[in-house]
Amino acid sequence: MQQADLVDWVEIPAGVLLRGTPLDEVADVADRYADTGVPVQWYLKETPRAAVHVPAFRIARTPVTVGQWRLFAQATGRPVPSRPADHPVIGVTWESATAYCHWLDARLGGLGVRLPTEDEWERAARGDDDREFPWGAQYRTGLANLMDLGIGSTTPVGSFPEGASPFGVLDMVGNADEWTSTRYAPYPGAPAEVPHTEDWAFDPHITRGGAFRHDRDLARCARRHGVYEADFEAIGVGFRLAAPAAD
């Protein structure tokens, strides 16, 4: 085992996730982010608000880096990224992210390494309350690598410690968009106009958090989306690891 195989796990206790957005707040949310051009229908995918019990699990403090990915790429004949080793790996398909999890799990002795579910991701980002962003109720430029910073590319993971979630998880929003293991479907009880499938997506799985090229609406803990462009690297698609809670 090499140093790059080690994962900085954060233990997330079992708890109740206030998942999604109340239906009667959608119009207000859409108005607050009207400058981003996001139609109200996209926010309806977050409804209805539900209290969901999430069992304990662990999640990586930061996304998988280029340095961590490089070992896997060399072992499996995949392209080796040219980005700095401490930046998040991007341009990763869901299948490749899942393959990495299986590969690393074997190297770590069978911890159950996997992608987080959508509910686990939101629990790790939101904590025990209904905060809108991992760091609190208000958006603040400079707490995540999103479009408003104007960087236009990835930054080293963990570069925005003040943007940490309540559990101390870093980079939950911005830098790299993150795969979950959850296939898109409307939440139970969603309005009838919420699509049952997203045939226009390039993969059926939900991504969360947004990347360096995304606007601040994707920083919201409740925001569900997918991969809607063919160039996964250009839009910054990466991932972080999850596993069952430590014994």
Q: What is the mean pLDDT of each run of 10 residues along the chain (247 residues)?
A: 78 98 96 93 97 98 97 92 95 97 95 98 97 96 96 97 98 98 98 96 97 96 96 96 94
**Residue 63 in domain:** yes
Which residues touch 213 (CB under 8 Å, ≥6 apart)?
147, 152, 234, 235, 236
* Helices 66-76, 94-107: crossing angle, 10 deg rounding: 90
CATH number at residue 140: 3.90.1580.10
- CA 211, CA 63: separation in Å to the nearest integer? 12
**Residue 116 in domain:** yes
The number of residues making up the chain comes to 247
- Write down the pLDDT at residue 195: 96
- CA 87, CA 225: separation in Å to the nearest integer? 23
Number of domains comprising the chain: 1
- Write down the pLDDT at residue 6: 83
**Residue 2 in domain:** no
**Residue 89 in domain:** yes
Strand pairing report for 237-238 and 57-60: unpaired
- Write down the pLDDT at residue 3: 61
**Residue 144 in domain:** yes
Phi, psi for residue 98 in degrees, rounded to 5: -65, -40
Residue 42: which of 235, 213, 179, 217 has the closest Cα?
217
**Residue 215 in domain:** yes
- CA 231, CA 1: separation in Å to the nearest integer? 33
- Write down the pLDDT at residue 79: 87
- CA 92, CA 232: separation in Å to the nearest integer? 7
- Write down the pLDDT at residue 46: 97
Residue 92: which of 174, 170, 202 has the closest Cα?
202
- CA 142, CA 88: separation in Å to the nearest integer? 18
Three-class SS of the chain: CCHHHCCCEEEECCEEEEECCCHHHHHHHHHHCHHHCCCHHHHHCCCCCEEEEECCEEEECCCCEHHHHHHHHHHHCCCCCCCCCCCECCCCCHHHHHHHHHHHHHHCCCCCCECCCHHHHHHHHHCCCCCCECCECCCCCCCCCCHHHCCCCCCCCCCCHHHCCCCCCCCCCCCCEEEEEEECCCCCCCCCCCCCCCCCCCCCEEEECCCCCCCHHHHCCCCCECCCCCCCCCCCEECCCEEECCC
- CA 136, CA 73: separation in Å to the nearest integer? 37
**Residue 3 in domain:** no
Domain of 137 in residue numbering reads as 8-244
